[in-house]
Structure 1
Amino acid sequence: MRNPTGRQLRFGTELRKLRERAGLTATEAGQLMGIKQAQISNMEAGRVGVSAERVRALACHYDCSDQALVQALGDMTTERARGWWEEYRDILPAGLLDLAELEHHARRLRTAVTVHIPGLFQTTDYAREIFRQAVPDLAPPDVEHRVSFRIKRQAVLYRDRPTPQQVIIHEAALRMRFGGTQVTRGQLTYLLDMSEREHVAIHVIPFAAGTFAGSGQSVYYAEGPVPQLDTVNLDQSHGPVFLDAEAQLSKYRVTLDRLEAAALTVEESRKFIHTILKDL
């Protein structure tokens, strides 16, 4: 099979965590299941499909009593179908495809940014300007591939059951005129339109708020069906970085909670964006 996707790797990692918490080696787990150690290793590496029944059997042998986690892992076994992002498999870095897959399956998305408008809320013109500033320079066709990919990711905002979004944006991001006044005006107008959607909560941190947690980085937090399956994405210049260790998840949950506390309410934020738009 092809190299496993980020979601398949995460599934395997969670199986390995269950085994290690039980104090079992892969060989011992294989003996309990009546299969070879190599098969356990392949499951934990995300290289082979695993049925929900096998997940439950493994959980039983591993003495895992967290039924919500077992159910969530079992549900993941039915989701190995490749999504729309696969058409970009040989065009874009694999990490971007993993990000789209993560968003597609997330139960809720939380993001905090200080300079850019979050990707899922960017207009085509705004996104194009961002990608034109990439280092090293992207060829025009590559810029367009990334723009179209970013816009297609926004499908999670428009499907029948859209993914709830909490967005925390610093005033600096609202005042940056990427692409000039016209592009910025279109971007802020679109952001205001999105803020009216029931499943979108946009909060602004004004300059007047002073210092705040996580000011030096953007944070993208995807909630899974259970907290153990949450994922943090840090957007780096070399590509997305995914974090899922329990201590890391806890740290970024607290960071986002503090950011929300420092920000204006949803209604206050909407009025604040209106004020900036009028000044353009």
Structure 2
Amino acid sequence: MAASPRALFRLVVASARSRVLLLPPPARPLLGARACSTGAQFHYLAVQKTGTQQNVGLIQLNRPQALNALCEGLMEELRRALEAMENDPQVGAIVITGSQKAFAAGADIKEMQNKGFQECYSSGFLSGWDKVSTVRKPVIAAVNGYALGGGCELAMMCDIIYAGEKAQFGQPEILLGTIPGAGGTQRLTRAVGKSLAMEMVLTGDRISAAEAKEAGLVSKVFPVDKLLNAAIACAEKIASNSKLVAAMAKESVNAAFETTLAEGTRTEKRLFYATFATDDRREGMTAFVEKRKAKFTDS
């Protein structure tokens, strides 16, 4: 029987209250994967490059003793890993995943429980958590297990969400006497509509992977053991295109999500015109006419 939201958050709190932080072993590398040469050590993440062309950056949240609860240390490492992949010309797309049990069960309650209004307001608490949403390269969330609270918000910051068939999504902050603070009320409402978002936020209830797909929160659902490979395959397909033009396409789609129709279409037109200043647009159209595969140079 699935744990209730209250029971799940008690587990996260209990795990986070441990005085001694046990560092988990690194995740087992995928076949054909290699460590990402960022020059950085990660305690809460396993970071590597994968894919047949080594052009997919893979970030695995790796804090299993707390169901991948998002502590400040983990989020700081995530920012560093994303910056490294953003600056790596070989990487064309990024996959963020967790474990089969939990993508991320929420923010670390221990770090929040004693904070006051002045401290939160003055320090801009959680303001740096949106790094995922500002990365110019496409980011795919591969979600197995729990994606609750901050975990659901983190998944929604990604450009594409693939879910394992046992995944569960929710914003149960109301059960802790607070509300989502990292974009949950905004992105969830845009993704699934006002009624379902309001129900989830006000009750703390979770939805299944199938319900999330039906509502438009995720694009595809896979068997648990097939999820990560499917996400990597999608990332490889994206990375095989022009990285420069992919960034433009991502910016244009985000404009539809974040602005009015008039502003969005203006952005789209401007970016469409901009592709005509690239070598990759010329190569893509020439290859089409010549009936051959395009060889993009990201220029």
Which range, TM-score by smaller chain? under 0.3
Q: Comparing both structures, which one devotes a greater share of its residues to helix?
A: 1
Larger Rg: 1
TM-score, normalized by length of structure 1?
Answer: 0.24
TM-score, normalized by length of structure 2?
Answer: 0.23
